[in-house]
């Protein structure tokens, strides 16, 4: 599980630090957001990072998914929502998924694959929330109770297989047999440790084969569902047209260009592992991202700062995987919701001492 820690130093004009044994980055003196995320495998170099932040300015977010399911792309979208151009740390591995900007930091936890488990216990995440410096990585399934919000990327087996062929066969030169063997080898651990986490997530992005093309197995057209748990503090589910209704919508026409097989949206209440949820679904892909504003205008509770922010973010990262379908759209929307949740939690923590002094 990836753990994302968010903190700000602006209000106290104090310093937080991200340090290595040889170098420390200090003095942000502005809003800082730190995401812990699993990404591709990296090798530990001259020691790990240390993260220190303020106890009353910390929010912890969890992100879980299988290998090759888009975690790295999702984290890049998240950092973009918070602002700043994220780059690998200076002097570090240029291919690392550890990214640092003036406003955000993504700490890749996949050192887990090459290091032992010493110290990777739930107390590590608790230490971060208490303002105590810890060394990354932190990897433990028991941190669930310490999370302020959790997300799961759920990619169906059919789509996952198509993606892995594209990534490992077309881009990395692996054989079809080796890809199949890799998937089969990972399956027991995935089913035992990764897949069960989705039932506990506050939001799930589920990626499935399209229903617009019968018997499609290419995985190019996707049906994506944003499953949002009801009753989560500081989080209000996004809805289409009318909150709580069941709606099917085909937006193709004069305001939205759609080539075959078109686009179809769905919204409605459902039950997910015994939890009441709201589901927003998109099947198909966009021909022109600039026309996404038409769809955005019919969605509510997006937590945007201005009209068209979703469309702006999508256009900004048009070259990211999934930008023309529901994966990019729902990752962007989830990022905006996390930003809003973060701001609400920080405001609540700031108000608590004032309320206590009045009592």
Q: Is the pLDDT of residue 82 over 60?
A: yes
pLDDT of residue 306: 96
- Closest residue by Cα to residue 78 from 346, 345, 330: 330
Residue with the bigger pLDDT between 237 and 214: it is 237
Q: Is the pLDDT of residue 48 over 60?
A: no
pLDDT per residue over 174-212, tens digit each?
Answer: 788 888 888 888 888 888 888 888 999 999 999 999 999
Lowest mean pLDDT segment, chosen from 79-83, 217-221, 321-325, 353-357: 353-357
pLDDT of residue 287: 94
Q: Is the pLDDT of residue 111 over 80?
A: no
Residue with the bigger pLDDT between 82 and 150: it is 150
User: Could you tell me the pTM of the whole model?
Assistant: 0.78
pLDDT of residue 250: 97
User: Can you say whether the dihedral through the CA atoms of 232, 238, 244, 248 is positive or negative?
Assistant: negative
State how far the Cα of 325 lies from the Cα of 323, in Å rounded to an integer: 6
Rg (CA), the chain: 21
pLDDT of residue 40: 38
Lowest mean pLDDT segment, chosen from 71-80, 110-119, 296-305, 323-332: 110-119
Structure tokens at 106: 């993504």
Q: Is the pLDDT of residue 244 over 80?
A: yes
The stretch 119-138 carries a mean pLDDT of: 52
Lowest mean pLDDT segment, chosen from 15-19, 91-95, 291-295: 15-19
Residue with the bigger pLDDT between 143 and 241: it is 241
Structure tokens at 13: 């004009």
pLDDT of residue 32: 45
Of the ranges 52-61, 90-99, 165-174, the best mean pLDDT one: 165-174
pLDDT band, very low/low/confident/very high, at 350 (cuts 50, 70, 90):
confident
Q: Is the pLDDT of residue 231 over 80?
A: yes
- In whole numbers, what is the pLDDT of the chain averaged over residues? 76
Structure tokens at 355: 């309320």
Residue ranges per structural domain of the chain: 1-151, 202-359
Structure tokens at 250: 């085909």
pLDDT of residue 119: 42
Are 53 and 34 a contacting pair, CB within 8 Å? yes
The stretch 280-297 carries a mean pLDDT of: 96
Please tell me whether the peptide bond between 261 and the residue prior to it is cis, using omega within 30 degrees of 0: yes
């Amino acid at each position: 599980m990836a753990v994302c820690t968010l903190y700000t130093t602006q209000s106290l004009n104090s310093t937080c630090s991200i340090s290595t044994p040889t170098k420390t980055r200090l003095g942000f003196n502005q809003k800082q957001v730190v995401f812990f995320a699993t990404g591709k495998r990296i090798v530990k170099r001259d020691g790990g990072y240390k993260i220190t932040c303020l106890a009353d300015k910390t929010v912890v977010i969890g992100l879980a998914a299988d290998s090759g399911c888009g975690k790295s792309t999702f984290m890049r979208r998240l950092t973009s929502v918070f602002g700043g151009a994220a780059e690998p740390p200076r002097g570090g591995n240029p291919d690392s998924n550890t990214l640092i900007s003036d406003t955000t930091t993504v700490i890749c936890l996949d050192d887990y694959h090459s290091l032992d488990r010493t110290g990777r216990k739930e107390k590590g995440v608790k230490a971060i929330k208490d303002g105590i410096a810890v060394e990354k990585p932190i990897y433990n399934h028991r941190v669930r109770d310490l999370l302020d919000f959790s997300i799961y990327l759920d990619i169906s087996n059919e789509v996952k297989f198509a993606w892995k062929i594209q990534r490992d066969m077309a881009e990395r030169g692996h054989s079809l047999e080796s890809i199949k063997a890799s998937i089969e080898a990972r399956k027991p651990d995935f089913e035992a440790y990764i897949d069960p986490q989705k039932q506990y997530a506050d939001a799930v992005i589920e990626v499935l084969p399209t229903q617009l093309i019968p018997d499609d197995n290419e995985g190019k057209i996707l049906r994506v569902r944003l499953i949002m748990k009801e009753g989560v503090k500081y989080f209000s589910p996004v809805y289409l047209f009318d909150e709580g209704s069941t709606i099917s919508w085909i937006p193709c026409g004069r305001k939205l260009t759609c080539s075959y097989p078109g686009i179809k949206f769905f919204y409605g209440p459902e039950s997910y592992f015994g939890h009441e949820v709201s589901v927003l679904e998109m099947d198909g892909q966009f021909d022109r991202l600039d026309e996404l504003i038409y769809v955005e205008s019919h969605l509510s509770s997006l937590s945007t700062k201005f009209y068209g922010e979703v469309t702006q973010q999508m256009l900004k990262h048009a070259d990211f995987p999934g930008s023309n379908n529901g994966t990019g759209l729902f990752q962007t929307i989830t990022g905006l919701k996390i930003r809003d949740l973060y701001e609400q939690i920080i405001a609540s923590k700031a108000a608590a001492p004032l309320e206590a002094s009045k009592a």
